[in-house]
Structure 1
C-alpha cells in the first residue's frame, strides 16, 4: 500500500526512522518548526531536527476537533487521544499527537521518541501519514 506525508517537507523517513524538517534562521540561528515557506523560508536553512526529546506539557483531546479537521470518523467513532509539546533540547518545542494507551502514565519530562502514524486514507486508499511522539 502506498503512503505519503500529510504535508510535503514536514518530515523525512530515513533508515534510522523519521526526522522532522525544521529551519534554522540565518539571521540568528534560532530553530523553527515547521520549515517556513516562501519569503520567510528564504531566511532559513532546512535542518533535520532531533528524533528524541522530553515531554514539556500535554492534555487529552476528548472530543472530535471542529472543521477544518479532516481526520477519519465522526463524533460517534471518535476516540480520545493525547496531544502535547515535546522539547527537542537545544532546538525547538514541537506540538504533536502523543501515542500512548494509558493517559495516566504521561509525565512532564518523560523521554519521547518521534514516530509516524496513519492520520487518514485518501480517496485512492493511500495512507496519509503524520508525525507523532511516543514514550522512548
Structure 2
C-alpha cells in the first residue's frame, strides 16, 4: 500500500504522522511546513508526532465534497472529521467510529482505494 501523500508520514508500518517543529520558537505544525506558522522562520525540522491523542472537537460531514473532490453519489457516505489534540499540535483528521470530546484515540491507516491509504484516528476501547 502507498500513502496518498507520503509527506504526511514518518513511516507507514506502524503508522506515524510527520509534523514540523520550529528550532527557534518551538511551534509544532501538522502537516509539516517549510516555514514556521508561529514566527515565519525557516529553521524547521521534521518530527514524528504521537500516535495517540484526544478528540478536541468533531463533526459529521453529511454532504458530498464539491469538485474536484467529488465522489459518485452512490459512493458517498457521511463521515466524522475533527481535531485531535496530540499534545503539541491539533491535527485535523478523519475519525473512525463514534466518539465524544475528550475520548482517547489512536492513529490508524484508512484505505481510500485498492492501492492507497491515508490516516484516521479511532477511539481507544478500554
Matches of 2:64 and 2:21, distance apart in 1? 34
Cα RMSD (Å): 1.6
User: What TM-score comes out, normalization by structure 2 length?
Assistant: 0.86
2:82 corresponds to 1:76: no
Aligned residues: 118
What is the aligned partner in structure 2 of residue 92 from structure 1?
89
In 2, distance between residues paired with 1:31 and 1:130? 21
Match of 1:134 in 2: 122
Task: Show the counterpart of 2:2.
Answer: 4
With structure 1 as the length reference, what TM-score do the two structures score? 0.80
Residues in 2 aligned to 1:47 and 1:67: alpha-carbon distance in whole angstroms: 33
Counterpart secondary structure, 1:131: strand
Instruction: Report SS of the residue matched to 1:50.
Output: coil
Q: Which runs of 5+ in 2 are unaligned?
A: 37-41
2:26 pairs with 1:35: no
Report SS of the residue matched to 1:76: helix
Cα distance in structure 2, aligned partners of 1:49 and 1:112: 14
**Per-residue deviation, residues 73-93 of structure 1 (Å, max 9, x unmatched):** 41122111100100002x100
Shift in Å, 1:130: 0.5
User: What stretches of structure 1 move > 6 A for 4+ residues in a row?
Assistant: none
* Pair 1:120 & 2:113 matched: yes
86, 103, 107: which is aligned to 1:110? 103
- Consecutive unaligned residues of structure 1, counting only runs of 5 or more, are 122-126
Question: The residue matched to 1:113 in structure 2 has which SS?
Answer: strand
